Structure 1
């Protein structure tokens, strides 16, 4: 990719500090919710385990993204909008989870990690739009 007159390339934009912080906070959130998912699998089926851990992850994600990634103040208005990103992502992830488990017969322990990685770029953009909105 050629840089024209000081304009950053797509790669440069993606690897900016905010995006890297987003990936780190996402890693913390993913590890936390994944461990919760595994624990819940001992008591619940995979769909319900995923749902409970996913909802918990929304709260953690809002906090980490607002305070650590985008350095904004926590706001009830933004907090109420924030789950829209994850509601959309949830249905995409649940569909992917179903296809990967039921049709491709992948392990219920690994599939949540796959679906999260696939949706990282979309989640970053939508989260930034909500959290940084005035």
Structure 2
């Protein structure tokens, strides 16, 4: 399989796996809104999404070996997505007056390309830690 076709297949698997992970985290976010303000609900659901996202991306999307080192690095790569996402949610809710329930959909769609590139870079790069 050529490099371009492999990349396309990864992008398709990323979209499907990411879609499933997004549904999981969105449902959790909506559930948590019953008890917490949107910023805390988003933070908790985002953290759960990091763990499930690493598993989905490693095993299904990029079909790479599991690495504890990369799992520990995964949150630092996604810190960029968190900051972008929370900023977009803040602007959506507090500036544009959109419902807090729907703001994560906007954030997710706008941060998706950054998420794919950073995730692919992390998971497919060579291990730099012995026993990775």
Common fold by TM > 0.5: yes
User: What is the total number of aligned residue pairs between the two structures?
Assistant: 123
Aligned residue number for residue 54 of structure 1: 46
Larger Rg: 1
In the TM superposition, 1:79-98 aligns within 5 A as: 79-98=71-90
4+ residue stretches of structure 1 with deviation over 6 A?
none
Q: Distance in 2 between matches of 1:13 and 1:72?
A: 13
Structure 2 gaps of 5+ residues are 127-132
Q: Are residue 116 (structure 1) and residue 108 (structure 2) matched?
A: yes
Query: How much is the aligned-residue C-alpha RMSD, in angstroms?
Result: 1.4
- SS of 2:12's equivalent in the other structure is helix
Could you tell me whether the CA contact under 8 Å between 2:58 and 2:123 is conserved in 1? yes
Q: Are residue 107 (structure 1) and residue 99 (structure 2) matched?
A: yes
TM-score by length of 2: 0.89
TM-score by length of 1: 0.88
Q: Distance in 2 between matches of 1:90 and 1:29?
A: 15
Q: Distance in 2 between matches of 1:82 and 1:92?
A: 16
- SS of 1:119's equivalent in the other structure is helix
- SS of 1:24's equivalent in the other structure is helix
